[in-house]
Every structure is written in structure tokens, then in C-alpha cells.
Amino acid sequence: MTREECAALLAYAGRIDPRAALLDPAETAGQLATWCELLRDVPATAPGGWDAAAAVRRHVECSPYPVLPVDITRPWAAHRRELLARHTDPRPAVDPDDVAAYQDAIRAQRNAVATGQAAPSGSRQLTGGPHPTVAARIAGRALPADAAEALAPYRPARAARQAAAAAGRPDALSVPCGWCRAPVGEQCRRRTNATPDRPGTWTRRRTPHPTRTDDAAARPARQEHAA
């Protein structure tokens, strides 16, 4: 804060809190010098809604004691920490091979945020799915047949489901497995290396448990029976 800003802040404090107002001119000059010294690194306003006058007002509202410079420096330190936490060091427009210049640029960005001269620059985030033009292009598009065929060895469960559908057999994954308790849509599993005091490791089975296939085959009949 400049000397003028400090004087304005002191005048504001004196106006809203009569206890802070000093009538002796010599004392006022001394108080202004103290405030200028202590609030040198605190900006009057800064990105993120920082306002030194608001900090003074909050103190007068909440505290039974007259306002002191620390009642402004402490909230500013918290606000500054929050600004820096939101800053993510975006890539500066400097040749990255020039290490010294690059580091200087990063430091200058951080310093600008820490002193309230620049707003913190956060990472961009996805806000809601793909861009409409991209969504329109991929909407309803299935994997090309040759690509699906090439991927089949790496997706045995899906390949088995497709083969079952093509052959008119029931889809075992449409029901949970009563044997290994695999939920709907997940492959059956088996446990390996299990001992009484060790749970072992779950491994996916390529083929469903026979009871599950039977359950899937029996399901439409049960539904018909229920209807």
C-alpha cells in the first residue's frame, strides 16, 4: 500500500471506529508512519476479492479491540496463501531451453500472484463432456467391424458375449454369478494362492461359471412364468 492508500485506510478506520481516531496531529503522523511501514507489502485491493478496507470493517464488526496493522496483514497472508494455492505455474512465453530465463519468468508470475498484481492461473478443467462438435461426430458410431475383430483377442469377455448372442445362446453376464458372486456385467472370477490366513488374488475367468450360464438360460422362462 502506498502512503496515500494507508492514509485513506486510517481515515476510514477512524470514521467507522471512533476508538481508532487520534486527535493529536503528532500522534496521527506517527501512526501513519507505522501503518505505512507495516502494510508496505499488503495491496489495497487484489484479485480474488481482497480489499484492505473490508478487512478493517470486518475487524471493527467482530472485535472489541481497536484495529491494528496486524488485523490487516494476517487476513492478507491467508488470502495470499489461498491465491498461491490456486496458481499452477502456466507455461510462460519464454524459450524453455533458456533455463535461467524460464525460471525467472515462473518466479515473476508467482511473485505477481503473491503480491496481488495478477490473478492466479489455474489448470483448465473439463466442464461437461466432449465439445458439441466432437460429440456429434462420435454419436452413434460403433467400432468398425475390422477394428472390433482385431481387438477381440484382447477383450475375451466381450468376444464371448458377442459369440453367444450370434449363436442364440443366453448371455451369462446378464445375471449375477451365484458361484463367485460376480455382479451383472462383470466376468466370473476365481481366487488363486489363497490360504486360510491369506485372501489370495482374484483373477478373471474367460468363461462364466456353468451355474451362471444355467441361471441366464433359466431367466426368460422365469420371467414368462412370473408374467
Residues in touch with Zn ion (CB under 5 A):
177, 179-180, 182, 188, 209
CB of 171 to Zn ion, least distance (A): 14
C-beta of 10 vs 180, nearer to Zn ion: 180
C-beta of 58 vs 190, nearer to Zn ion: 190
Strands 189-192 and 201-204: antiparallel
CB of 158 to Zn ion, least distance (A): 17
CB of 157 to Zn ion, least distance (A): 12
CB of 105 to Zn ion, least distance (A): 58
Note every long-range contact of 2-10, with CB atoms under 8 Å and residues 24 or more positions apart, other chains counting.
3/32, 3/36, 5/44, 5/52, 6/32, 6/35, 6/36, 6/39, 7/32, 9/35, 9/39, 9/44, 9/52, 9/53, 9/56, 9/72, 10/35
C-beta of 137 vs 206, nearer to Zn ion: 206
CA distance 36 to 5: 9
- Which three cell numbers mark 101? 530465463
C-beta of 65 vs 202, nearer to Zn ion: 202
104 closest CA partner among 112, 117, 86, 42: 112
CB of 163 to Zn ion, least distance (A): 18
C-beta of 13 vs 175, nearer to Zn ion: 175
